Amino acid sequence: MDIKLRRYNTIYIIDISGDMDLYNAHRLKDVVAKLIAKGVSELVINLEKVDYLDSSGVGALIHVFTQVKQRELQMRITHVHGSVEKVIRLTKLMDYFPIVDSVKDALYELSGKGQQ
């Protein structure tokens, strides 16, 4: 799994590629914890290039979302597709996570334009 960060104004986009599994899902938790510690309040997790997600990956997403929610921060998950979507649907988390279609949609919502 590879994680890259980019920024749009105050919003941090976390681009993940590869497999989110037992061996590396913890890395997402670490990255988000560091961003929260830096005072980042808006995050986008981009799963466009994630091909495989196991229960550890789901657990990492739940952990991250819980941390964000407890601190009253904002987060969106984008590009949920294929087998990743199947796992999230099977675990009945499609309505739990703040999922939007694209990074562009997430930026629109988080920048406040989508809430008017």
Q: In this predicted structure, what is the pLDDT of residue 15?
A: 98
Name the helix (H) or strand (E) containing 43.
strand 42-53
All structural domains of the chain: 2-115 (3.30.750.24)
Termini Cα distance of the chain: 36
Tens digit of each residue's pLDDT (9 = 90 or more) over 53-104: 999 999 999 999 999 999 999 999 999 999 999 999 999 999 999 999 999 9
Name the pTM for this structure: 0.93
